[in-house]
Amino acid sequence: MQFYMPTELITGPNCVEKNAEKLARYGKRCLIVTGGSVAKRSGALDDTEAALRSQGIEYSCFSGIAPNPTLASCQEGGRLAHEAGAEFVIGIGGGSPLDAAKAVGVFAANPDMTEEGFYSAVWPNAPLPIVLIGTTAGTGSEVTSVSVLTDSRGRKHSIHDRRVYAALALGDARYTMSLPRGATLSTGIDALAHCVESYFSKKADLFSRTFSVRGVKLGLPVLQQLAGSGDLPTPEQREALYQASILGGMAINPTGTVFPHNVGYYLTENYGIPHGFASAVFMPELLRHVRECEPQLSEAFYAACGTSEEALCRLVEKTVPVRGIQLTEDEIRTALPRWEHNGTVHNTVGTVRMEEIAAMLQKEF
């Protein structure tokens, strides 16, 4: 077994304010990377700016990060950080701004680097230090070395590199309180998908599965209640979802995800289905696949988590919006080659055949 996560993680109410002095470790100038209005509405941006001012740290903001961030926007942020003389980068938001902040740190240190250079991981200079402050309970990006970006072809493309771990992650679940119901469910089921998929990775071990099981046990009851009631989470439920998202990040940190995540990218890229929902669409197929090829592993998972295949599939059915999308045979045939040699497909326990993926894509979404 092996586990590596060099990020200093601090969670709890007012953790940004309480740990403001830690920001001074990384320099006297920084760039804050955000997207939309969530950073402001959640209170995270105001708290961060107050913490920076208390330490005499100069800062500027780059709010040009959209959902499913493009590499081009990260290059722009990197140039701005370089021109401002930033010594570190702070990412505030959900998975998109956090993943983008990692790439901005790379481009800030290498402002002339091309897309090819970024994805080849041949970076002449080490990325700037990264501080991450989450405002959603979903991706767990705070604790992983992963950055998922949309490349110039319009495809979601991830990097896995130890150099983009956050130096510091500050997690205050209060920042998730302003999330509307749809975003809460989408990010929450993304965290659940991380826990489930990590458990069924070929790289899983006792450590990663411990994180997976605990994440499912924290997040699943909350998601089931929300799906059945139509309510928003209580503060205690928000805290449980946030903890589940961090545990999901710690689970996938050594294992990565498996096929539902990458096949789900296709639905996000081509039909605009939010990432969390797109990943969960194929969870039932994953559970069936594992039951058929690794029945003992399947049974051990349900016993450890105190749930069942039926319960998880029912949650997906209740939670994921039905959009009436039906892929044509031509679309499926054109898309299949992208998964033939895909790492997440081959990372799934057992053997996932292309015929299985073709059958998954034939259902209505």
Residue with tokens 């100069």: 58
| CATH code 1.20.1090.10 region(s) in the chain | 181-361
**Directed axis angle between helix 283-293 and helix 309-319, to 10°?**
160
Mean pLDDT, contiguous 10-residue spans, the chain (365 residues): 93 97 98 92 97 98 94 97 98 96 98 94 96 96 95 91 97 95 95 98 97 98 92 95 98 96 94 92 97 98 98 94 86 95 95 94 86
109, with CB counted inside 10 A (0-12, 13-18, 19+), is: buried
- Which run of H or E residues covers position 32? strand 29-33
90 within 8 A of 48, measured Cβ to Cβ: yes
Instruction: List, in order, residues 6 or more apart from 88 with CB less than 8 Å away.
Output: 26, 27, 30, 105, 128, 129, 130, 131, 167
Listed as own residue / partner, the contacts of 112-115 with beta carbons closer than 8 Å and 24 or more positions apart are: 113/75, 115/71, 115/75, 115/151, 115/152
46 within 8 A of 15, measured Cβ to Cβ: no
At residue 146's C-alpha, the angle toward residues 100 and 213, to 5°, is 125
Query: Hey, is 86 helix, strand or coil?
Result: coil
So what's the architecture of 8-175 in CATH? 3-Layer(aba) Sandwich (3.40)
- Give CA–CA dist 307/77, Å, rounded: 43
| CATH code 3.40.50.1970 region(s) in the chain | 8-175
Q: Check residue 207 and give its pLDDT.
A: 96
Beta bridge mates, 9? 169
Tokens representing residue 176 in the block? 């998730």
b or e along 53-87 (b: 16 or more beta carbons within 10 Å of the residue's beta carbon)? eeeebebebbbbbebbbbbebbbbbbbbbbebebb
Q: Check residue 233 and give its pLDDT.
A: 95
Instruction: List, in order, residues 6 or more apart from 337 with CB less than 8 Å away.
Output: none
DSSP designation for 333: H
HEC assignment per residue over 175-205 = HHCCCCHHHHHHHHHHHHHHHHHHHCECCCC
What is the pTM for the complete model shown? 0.95
HEC assignment per residue over 96-146 = HHHHHHHHHHHHHHCCCCCHHHHHHCCCCCCCCCEEEEECCCCCCHHHCCE
- Give CA–CA dist 151/159, Å, rounded: 11
Q: Check residue 170 and give its pLDDT.
A: 98
- Domain 181-361 = CATH 2.60.120.560: no
